[in-house]
A and B are shown apart, each in its own frame.
Chain A
Amino acid sequence: MYQALTDFLINFSAGQPLLWALLVLVFVAATGLFLYGFWEVVLRALGRLWTAKNRRPAGPRQ
């Protein structure tokens, strides 16, 4: 699989420069958006868990 990916990267970048440049742009932008969304979801979920944990009223001291 790594070999197939390597062949694709080398051949496509050399044979189709315009499409390659557009592919790189779209790939990086999409990856950036995905990673931003991923971390937002993860951090919000963690924030909610943290808030819920701290909102629980403390019981009377023994």
Chain B
Amino acid sequence: MLFPNADVVVNPALLFLLGLIVGTLGGFFGVGGGFLITGGLLVFGVPPLFAVGTGLTLVMGSSIISMLKHRGMGHVDFRLGLIMVCGTLPAEILAERLNASLDAAGIAGPVIRYVFVLFLTALGSFLVYDFFKTRRRRGAGDQVSTALLARRVQSLRIPPHSVGIPGVGKVSTYVSLPLSGIDRISVFIPFLVGAGIGFLAGLLGAGGGFILMPLLVYFIGVPTTIAIGTDLFQIIVTGSAGTFIYALGNHVDPLMALIMLTAASAGAQLGSAATGMVDASRIRILYAVTVLNGSVAIALTEVSEWNDGLAFLNPIASATLLGVSGAIAVIIGLLLVRAKLQTRRASPTPRESARR
């Protein structure tokens, strides 16, 4: 099928499959799935800027669906999300400009891929390290190896400690985030985290959630499920801003986004429901496998472009990306089914009790 805006022929079944996987993983991990979408679209032969722009459009749409689902489960800390958003937007606009300059120099594609590979590998390796370090503790659940670091970050005192607002008076720059279990934290910390994420989001064409979720958990000390919901709220804003900017430059293909979003909506429901029922340490190790898989696939794509003789690596990259991600989506589905069955066994319905 020809997608007129991107002027590229892509099999819609592949887009549908990608959307379904992205929706499931996005709802479960609280990421927009930009690293998977942009990576996947690049693998399908979509031009880099369209892969980024259309990826952000899908990130925005699927995050709306997942965030609404998580809000219903009480997983969204809107206060924390709003503070981060204040830093995100200006940084994202700055990064979009840098991206446009890289594109004009003809190096946007390789730079996006190199930065992606670097970040995904570093992040995935750390998550695996953390999983093995904390798994021996009994009932590790939501314990992380950086709990001490998170407490130190929360106790940081950054001046100014208050600011004067005309008509309001002096306002403290420290906030309490009860939903995230944080008594007092300087607003500059989530603000700076938001700015850093916005910059990466604009540069990589992702919502930035794949870095923000682990940052909230490991750096700020937010519980995993709250980090997932809040992350999605923040991604809606970064995704919307990115979509608007890329659409202005005519680098979005709405037909491609619509096909993927339709599939992602079903996956988002499944993934979001699974988050509340699966152990937090399992969520994090599955997330580690997902990001390492993305890193391998994008690296293979980049290597395949070095030499014509290495072109055979491109379909391998495609198969790796979709295969492993699809397998993780299936595992999420199985974990949800298992958790539901365990819940039913614990509290059987009257009919089941009668049978026993």
Contacts and interface: CB of A to CB of B under 8 A. Distances in A.
Given A6-B4, A25-B244, A32-B62, A58 B354 contact: yes
A39 to B, nearest CB: 5
A27 B5 CA distance: 16
B64 A18 contact: no
A7 to B, nearest CB: 8
Contact of B240 (A25, A27, A33, A55): A25
Contact of B261 (A18, A20, A21, A32): A32
B52 to A, nearest CB: 14
B248 A17 contact: yes
A18 to B, nearest CB: 7
Contacts of A54: 349-352
Interface of A: 5-6, 9-10, 13-14, 17-18, 20-22, 24-25, 27-29, 31-33, 35-36, 38-39, 43, 51, 54-58
Chief secondary structure at chain B's binding surface: helix
A14 B250 contact: yes
B60 interface: yes
Pick the 7 closest A-B CB pairs, nearest first: A35-B265, A21-B247, A32-B64, A54-B349, A58-B354, A32-B61, A6-B4
Contact of A39 (B4, B252, B258, B266): B266
Chief secondary structure at chain A's binding surface: helix
Contacts of B354: 57-58
A24 B4 contact: no
Interface string B242-281: 0111011110101101100110011001000000000000
Contacts of A20: 247-248, 250
B265 A32 contact: yes
B350 A18 contact: no
Given A10-B5, A20-B247, A36-B68, A55 B61 contact: no
Contact of B5 (A13, A17, A21, A57): A13
Contact of B252 (A5, A10, A24, A56): A24
B56 to A, nearest CB: 10
B324 to A, nearest CB: 26
B138 interface: no
Given A25-B240, A29-B61, A29-B64, A39 B349 contact: no
B261 A31 contact: yes
B265 A9 contact: no
A16 B114 CA distance: 34
Contact of B349 (A5, A9, A21, A55): A55
A26 to B, nearest CB: 11
B111 to A, nearest CB: 24
B261 A35 contact: yes
A9 B60 contact: no
Contacts of A5: 255
B208 to A, nearest CB: 18
A5 B193 CA distance: 42
Nearest to B351: A54
A4 to B, nearest CB: 11
B164 to A, nearest CB: 36
A9 B250 contact: no
A10 to B, nearest CB: 5
B258 A31 contact: yes
Interface string B57-93: 1001110110011000000000000000000000000
B355 interface: yes
Contacts of A35: 65, 261-262, 265
Contacts of B269: 39, 43
B243 A27 contact: no
B240 A31 contact: no
